[in-house]
Structures are given as structure tokens and as C-alpha cells.
Chain A
Amino acid sequence: MNAGDDAPRMTFEQALAALDGVVRRLEAGDVGLEEAIGLFEEGRRHLAACRERLAAAQQRIEELTAEDGPSAPPPF
């Protein structure tokens, strides 16, 4: 199993929710410049993570037959 390699720290919706949260806090308008820059950078990281996930999808299909058990070599 290669779960450790493949599992991102956040799922897409977690990253998107975090991004929404950053925007909400910035829009609240009561943050200082330093905090704002920190939030902005955090938002950019979440944005990049989301974009990366979108870009990772490549419209592939792999077909396994009933004979392939769970021990079959991992597809693509």
C-alpha cells in the first residue's frame, strides 16, 4: 500500500474550505498588515493545492477483472 505517499495532508474540500476561511477573515477587515500578508500567503498555498488537484485528473480509465484480487499490482 502506498497510502502515505499518495494521501495529501488535506482533501480538496478541506483546502477549499480553508481558502474560504482565509478570504472571510481578510474581508472582515480587522486584520493588521502583517497578519494580512500571512493570510494571503496561506490562501495562496491552499489555492495552489486545489489547482494541483484539479490538474492531476487526466481522464484515465483502468479496468480490472473479477480475477484480480486486492493483491494485484497497483494500476497506473
Chain B
Amino acid sequence: MKTVGARRVWSVTEVTGALARRLEGIPQLWIEAEIHSIGRRGGHVYFTLVDDHQISGTMRAVVWDRLPLPPRDGDLVHVRGDLEFWAARTSIRLRAERIEHAGLGLLLAEVAALRARLEAEGLFAPARKRPLPMLPRRIGLVTSARGAARDDFLRCAWARFPADVLLHDVPVQGPASPDAVARAIAALDAHPQVDVIVVTRGGGPLEDLMGFNSEVVCRAIAAATTPIVSAVGHERDTTLCDLAADLRVSTPTAAAEAVVPDHTALSQRLDGLESTLGRDLGRVRARAEERCGARAAALAAGLRAVHRRSEARLTGTSARLAPALSRLPASRARLVDATADRLGRAGPARVAEAGARLERAAAVLEVLSPRRTLRRGYAILRDDDGRPVTTTAAARAGQELTAELDDGRVRATVTGVER
């Protein structure tokens, strides 16, 4: 410092030297700021800490590379280090020794670290995901009994199906939330009738959702044997609970749609299956009756022919017997008379018995006959040659067919064939 006239004059070096002495008194400190302009040069990482003002900072690259979750541009961080005055440029730099995420960033870092750990364990693996039941006997619901999520879920679920719901009331935010949610999942998982569990809450800031990012909740989900649907937060918030669950949806309404079938559609499907079942059996029976009918007709004709031949033989024998008897001596004739008597009695008796058997057979045949089927409203379709048409393959458009009904026949023309 020198004096020129009335003026005291400082050299630059004297000024920076004075500043350096003042700054020496500032101890190592924590600074909260957003980190920006991160870059790497040589063995150091350079960055700028910003609020309304800004300070440059550096960190040794080997230290930076060992940070559990290195910050990215714009992250809010806590930095600990020494202020370093670089006299030659009159600039101040923070020489950082530690950098940690702060605020939201801190929470995100926690979630990211836990996520990485559980992921490495395979807790979120697709192979772990279990399919949801089509129709749960009872739905376990883990949410707040006073939350909008509960109302949304029930409204949507009951619009689709009169499902039975077992709600486990839990705090969905705050310090008690993780344990309560985990216990509720375990309790519902142990319930014999609960076939699916829904864990849900509405959207909110990350700190409110942290219960659903907790290890205890993820472990409870992984330990459960019941399939679990997670609907936590909004579309953009993916929690670890979502990742651990068997199905992740974005809203309570979507969760209801996922776990509850549409009652109307399901009933219609059952009705459809019932009528198909009846139609199929009817078709098989009609085919069987037709086959029986053809054989029954042949059988009846055969029986009648046998009957006729027996009668003819009996009559013929009697006719030959009479002249022969007259030529026998009287003593023999008496014997023969007795035999003829027996024969005379036996012949008609046997004929009567055969007739009765024939009647019984005819009655059985009547039961099996296609006529009875026709009387119930069925028809036998025959082609020009009188052959039954039993498959669509035997019919072609424009073909003339005869439909045989109980009391007559109807001539019909095929207008189309559907297979």
C-alpha cells in the first residue's frame, strides 16, 4: 500500500491477500443448494451451487464416483466442504468432501437405493407375478376407510358385480402407515376366503407416498400367497409397492375393473354355454335315435317274417298229418289222437306266445322309433333317393329334400348351407 498525494493506493495482491485472511476464519460448513453445470475435468468434478446467488464447487472424481446416487443437474443437495479462496482470480470455490441428496431428492435417493436392493433380490421379477382370479370369493381391500380411494373402488366394483369386500382400514400416510399396511396385507392373505388383495390410495406428494415405498410393505407383498393389485398415487408415481405387486394399475377404479368381472357378461356366457350344452346333447341323441330307428325297422320286418314262416309250417304239417293218421290201426290211432290233441293245444299256445313276444318287441321298437322323435317336433330330411341327410356335407343349395314329419311329408328346397 502506498500513498499518492492524499490517496492510499492498494495493489491487487494486497486486496486479495486481505480477502484471503478474512475468509480463513470461516469453518467447514454444510450448504443447501441446487447443483448445476456438473462437468468433469482431470481428476475433479466441477459444479455450481445455486440459489439466488451461486458458488462454484469441486469434488475429487474418485469421491464423486463413490456416491451412492450421484446428483444430476437441478437436484437439491447438501454439500459439506471448505471455502477456498483463489487469490490469483479473486474467486471462491467450495472444495466439497460430501454430497447428499436433500428434500425430495433425499427421498428419491432412498427409494432408488431400496429399489436397487430389492430388484437385485428378484423381488420385482416378472416370474413372481401371479394371475388374478376370475371371480374372487372375497376381495381384501387395504386403504383408508375414510379415503376417496375406498369410495371410488367400491362404486366401480359394485357397478360391475355384487362383490363381497373385506376392508382393512389403515393410515395411508405418516409414520404408522408402513407397518399397518404390511400387517393388513398379512392378515388378509391369511383369510381363507380372500382370493385377491387390493392396496390403494390416491395421489399425493412423494413424502405422503413413502409408506408404499417402504421395505416392510414390499416384503409383506412378496410373502403373501394371495395375488395383490397395487393402485397407489397417480399415473406418474410408481411406488415400490406397485413394483412388488402382481398387478399395477393407476387408479382405484382401474383396480376394481381388474379384480371384479362384469356380472352381466358372465351370466350371458353361462346362459350361452347352457343352451349349447342342451343343443349338443339333442344332436347326439337325434343321431342315435335315427340309427336305432333304422335297425328297429329291419328287426321288426325280420321278426314278422319268422312269425309268418312258423305259421305256414305249422299249417302245412297239420294238413299232412290228418291223412296219415287215418291210415293207422285203431290202437295206434288213439295214441296219435292223444298226440294230435297235445299238438293241437300246443300249436296255438306257441303261436300265441310268439305273438305276445312280438307285441312286446314292437312296443320297445316304438319307443326307439324315429316316429316318436318326429312327434316331438323333429323332422327327418331325405334326399331324392330317400337317404337321410344327416350332415351339411350331404346338402347343397338348390337341392330338393323331403322333410318327414309325424303325419306326412313336406317338400323343401335348400336355400343355403352353413357349416
Contacts of B169 in A (CB 8 A): 63-66
Interface status of B288 (Cβ within 8 A of chain A): yes
Contacts known (A33-B288, A69-B183); A62 close to B166, Cβ less than 8 A: yes
**A-side contacts of B278, CB under 8 Å:** 40
**Of A19, A33, A64, A74, the contact of B284 (CB 8 Å cutoff):** A33
Q: Which residue of A lies closest to B292 (CB)?
A: A33
B314 at the interface (CB under 8 A from A): no
- With both chains docked as a complex, state the minimum distance between the C-beta of A40 and any C-beta of chain B, in angstroms: 4
Measured between beta carbons, the chain B residues less than 8 angstroms from A2 are 192
Partner of B288 from A16, A32, A44 at Cβ < 8 Å: A32
**Contacts of B267 on A, CB cut-off 8 Å?**
54
The answer, yes or no, to whether B285 is at the interface (CB within 8 Å) is yes
| A36 neighbours in B (Cβ, 8 Å) | 280-281, 284-285
B-contact 0/1 string along A27-56, CB 8 Å cutoff: 101011100110110011001001101101
Interface assignment of B36: CB less than 8 Å from any CB of chain A: no
Chain B contacts for A27, CB-based, 8 A: 276, 280
B155 CB to closest chain A CB (Å) equals 12
Query: What chain B residues lie within 8 Å of A11 (beta carbons)?
Result: 133-135, 195
Chain B, residues 129-164, CB within 8 Å of chain A (1/0): the string is 000011101000000010000000010001001111
Min CB gap B26→A, angstroms: 50
The verdict on B263 contacting chain A, using a C-beta distance below 8 Å, is yes
A66 touches B154 (CB 8 A): no
Q: Which residue of A lies closest to B280 (CB)?
A: A26
**Seed contacts A16-B269, A23-B273, A66-B180; 6 additional CB < 8 Å A-B pairs:** A22-B277, A58-B164, A63-B169, A65-B145, A66-B168, A75-B166
Residue ranges of A at the interface with B (Cβ–Cβ < 8 Å): 1-3, 6-7, 11-13, 16, 19-20, 22-23, 26-27, 29, 31-33, 36-37, 39-40, 43-44, 47, 50-51, 53-54, 56-66, 68-70, 72, 74-75
CB-defined A-B contacts under 8 Å, sample of 8 = A29-B283, A36-B280, A44-B277, A47-B270, A62-B165, A64-B168, A64-B184, A68-B168
